[in-house]
């Protein structure tokens, strides 16, 4: 825990490393949110200490009661950036230098996951099924919220930070599900969900670091973080475009990459929960399933936007057109996470063998898997199985078949020409579809998730022929806009009220208050001991 505080302080300095005014506010916000989390967590630890009289983890095993676990969960939820306390993450991660944000998103938030797993699964003393359901549901909601906000974001790094919120939500949904199924003694479900959690922790660390590093390279060579100013980079940096395609597909959890394997486990455990006898639990399972599916679909658009706007089409500005080209060592370094993403996606069995040992320690049940497939069985009945390697082989065979047939049958040559634009000769690269427009339909349908303020302004209001119009749109997180911003205001108001009612200037009243406080604290002390 102390180490964690050191980490917070150090990362505070890492964020403000780039000496700019704009980085200070998010850094301070991060610092305070993290401290707030620590307050909850250390309270939980002190309660455990009071119970056991020791301070090492071994003696805490199976000792935590419901209150301790809830407190710890609130603390870890703040540290992991879970809904509704996620705003600091989206503020703090993008302003840090790229290498630091890769580290923060990839590794540091995972420490909160470790803590939550410690408390919920190892220190678990009481079984409160509701707590598991609540965590699962909050995780799912924060996944949806994270991806909805990522959808509306045009800043490359901010989009990735919101995607971290989404992935942490998915991980916490898995943790909640694991805790719930352990408390209900559904060990096979717990095995699935816990595998999903551990695998997604590894996967998210991989592909999020990859994407942050890629965005760092982009910023280095184009000097902008705004997507609307990029475009057409696939022709300037083809290798980087391929890497990025892998990263993006892994983040959308598309097969055959690593993200799919872990999300598959989560889906299967949710479906398994829906199979269960209890009707209420099945309802919770399908509710979560619906949210997670919607999240998955919206992740598709979000990263389509990321990839399509940044890498495809025509360059939107001169910076993008004349960008530098990534050097060979950058390509080499980035190849490592790319290769790992593909490897885990096609051959998950090597990683799963390690994870199976961990899940066995918690749930007491082995994951059914062999070299070629992963099997899910309940009471000896096969539910489903996944053949990641075979799927890739089948896909390659089918694609080769299609290619050969086309090669034999097709006669035409390939010719290059300008894109057809209704017969107009339009060379204005600003006339392409923009990132905002690409997601406008979905944002309009799900408008309750955003607080959007948009306006059209005309330059010369009074003339009949207006020369130009400016469209402005500001999209913000409703939680941020309505709650977080107002906290200082509410605090000031409350303390004002407090002041006016207590600081009356009457000495007798002060003495009475002190006496009253003494009695209250003595009562609490006796009550506790």
Q: Could you tell me which of 110, 338, 93, 97 has the C-alpha nearest to residue 204?
A: 110
* Count of positions on this chain that bind another protein (CB under 8 A): 85
Taking the complex as a whole, the smallest distance from the CB of residue 45 to another protein amounts, in Å, to: 39
What is residue 14's DSSP assignment? H
Q: How many CB atoms lie within 10 A of CB 366?
A: 12
Helix axes 328-346, 238-251, angle to 10 degrees: 30
- The span of 93-101, 102-110, 288-296, 330-338 binding another protein (CB under 8 A) equals 288-296
Q: Which is nearer to another protein, 104 or 211 (CB)?
A: 211
Tell me which residues in 201-230 interact with another protein (CB under 8 A).
none
Here the tokens at position 384 are 């489903």
Q: What are residue 469's DSSP bridge partners?
A: 458
Q: Which is nearer to another protein, 410 or 456 (CB)?
A: 410
The DSSP code sequence of 236-292 is H-HHHHHHHHHHHHHHTT-TTSHHHHHHHHHHHHHHHHHHSS-HHHHHHHHHHHHHH
Interface pick for another protein out of 415, 463, 464, 489 (rule CB under 8 A): 415
Taking the complex as a whole, the smallest distance from the CB of residue 169 to another protein amounts, in Å, to: 17
Half-sphere exposure of 279 (CA within 13 A, CB side): 0
Q: What CA–CA distance (Å, rounded) separates 400 from 323?
A: 36
For the window 471-490, what string marks contact with another protein as x by the rule CB under 8 A? Answer: --------------------
Interface pick for another protein out of 420, 465, 471, 526 (rule CB under 8 A): 420
Helix (H, G, I), strand (E, B) or coil at 390: helix
Q: What CA–CA distance (Å, rounded) separates 210 from 201?
A: 14
Tell me which residues in 227-246 interact with another protein (CB under 8 A).
231-232, 234-235, 238, 241-242
Taking the complex as a whole, the smallest distance from the CB of residue 227 to another protein amounts, in Å, to: 12
Question: CA quadruple 72, 75, 78, 80: dihedral positive or negative?
Answer: negative
Here the tokens at position 413 are 């040559």
Q: What are residue 474's DSSP bridge partners?
A: 453
Q: Could you tell me which of 92, 149, 156, 166 has the C-alpha nearest to residue 477?
A: 149
Tell me which residues in 144-173 interact with another protein (CB under 8 A).
none
Q: Which is nearer to another protein, 3 or 410 (CB)?
A: 410
How many residues are recorded in the chain?
529
Q: Which is nearer to another protein, 20 or 413 (CB)?
A: 413
Interface pick for another protein out of 159, 168, 175, 376 (rule CB under 8 A): 376
Tell me which residues in 54-113 interact with another protein (CB under 8 A).
none
Q: Could you tell me which of 352, 379, 355 has the C-alpha nearest to residue 186?
A: 379
Interface pick for another protein out of 46, 395, 502, 515 (rule CB under 8 A): 395
36 burial (CB, 10 Å; 0-12 / 13-18 / 19+) is middle
Interface pick for another protein out of 32, 57, 350, 387 (rule CB under 8 A): 387
Q: Is 381 in the site for another protein (CB under 8 A)?
A: yes
Tell me which residues in 241-270 interact with another protein (CB under 8 A).
241-242, 249, 252-255, 260, 263-264, 267-268
Q: Is 421 in the site for another protein (CB under 8 A)?
A: yes
- The span of 122-130, 418-426, 468-476, 490-498 binding another protein (CB under 8 A) equals 418-426
Q: Which is nearer to another protein, 89 or 301 (CB)?
A: 301
Tell me which residues in 307-336 interact with another protein (CB under 8 A).
307-309, 311-314
Q: What CA–CA distance (Å, rounded) separates 105 from 62?
A: 30
Tell me which residues in 431-470 interact with another protein (CB under 8 A).
431-434, 437-442, 444-445
Taking the complex as a whole, the smallest distance from the CB of residue 473 to another protein amounts, in Å, to: 16
């Amino acid at each position: 825990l102390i180490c964690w505080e050191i980490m917070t302080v150090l990362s505070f300095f890492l964020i403000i490393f780039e000496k700019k005014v704009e980085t200070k506010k998010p850094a301070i916000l991060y610092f305070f949110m993290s401290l707030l989390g620590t307050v909850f967590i250390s309270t939980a630890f002190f309660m455990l200490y009071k119970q056991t009289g020791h301070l090492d983890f071994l003696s805490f095993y199976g000792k935590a009661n419901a209150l301790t676990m809830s407190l710890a969960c609130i603390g870890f939820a703040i540290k992991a950036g879970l809904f509704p306390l996620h705003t600091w993450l989206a503020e703090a991660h993008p302003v840090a230098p790229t290498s630091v944000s890769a580290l923060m998103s990839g590794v540091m938030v995972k420490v909160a996951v470790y803590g939550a797993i410690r408390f919920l699964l190892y220190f678990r003393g009481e079984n409160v099924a509701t707590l598991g359901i609540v965590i699962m549901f909050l995780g799912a909601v924060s996944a949806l919220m994270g991806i909805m906000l990522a959808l509306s974001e045009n800043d490359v790094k901010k989009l990735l930070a919101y995607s971290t919120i989404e992935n942490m939500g998915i991980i916490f949904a898995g943790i909640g599900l694991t805790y719930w199924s352990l408390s209900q003694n559904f060990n096979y479900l717990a095995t699935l969900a816990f595998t999903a959690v551990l695998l997604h922790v590894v996967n998210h660390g991989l592909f999020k670091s990859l994407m942050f590093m890629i965005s760092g390279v982009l910023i280095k060579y184009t000097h902008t973080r705004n997507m609307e100013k990029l475009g057409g980079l696939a022709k300037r940096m083809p290798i980087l475009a391929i890497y990025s395609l892998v990263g993006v597909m892994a983040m959308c959890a598309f097969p055959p990459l690593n993200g799919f394997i872990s999300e598959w486990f989560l889906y299967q455990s949710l479906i398994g929960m829906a199979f269960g006898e209890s009707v209420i639990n099945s309802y919770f399972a399908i509710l979560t399933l619906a949210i997670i599916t919607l999240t998955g679909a919206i992740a598709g658009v979000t990263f389509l936007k990321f990839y399509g706007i940044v890498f495809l089409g025509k360059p939107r500005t001169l910076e993008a057109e004349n960008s530098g080209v990534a050097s060979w060592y950058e390509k080499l370094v980035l190849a490592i996470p790319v290769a790992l993403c593909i490897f885990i996606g096609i051959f998950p069995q090597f990683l799963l063998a390690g994870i199976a040992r961990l899940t066995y320690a918690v749930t007491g049940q082995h994951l059914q898997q062999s070299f070629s497939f992963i099997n899910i069985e309940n009471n000896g009945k096969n539910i489903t199985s996944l053949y990641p390697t075979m799927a890739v082989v089948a896909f390659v065979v089918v694609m080769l078949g299609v290619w050969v047939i086309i090669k034999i049958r097709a006669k035409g040559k390939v010719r290059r020409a300008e894109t057809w634009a209704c017969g107009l000769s339009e060379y204005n690269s600003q006339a392409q579809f923009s990132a905002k427009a690409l997601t406008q339909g979905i944002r309009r349908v799900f408008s309750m998730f955003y607080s959007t303020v948009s306006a059209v302004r005309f330059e010369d209001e009074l003339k009949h022929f207006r020369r130009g119009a400016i469209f402005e749109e500001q999209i913000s997180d409703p939680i941020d806009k309505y709650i977080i911003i107002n906290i200082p205001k509410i605090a000031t108001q409350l303390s004002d009220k407090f002041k006016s009612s207590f600081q009356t200037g009457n000495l007798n009243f002060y003495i009475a208050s002190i006496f009253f406080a003494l009695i209250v604290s003595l009562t609490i002390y006796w009550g506790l001991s």
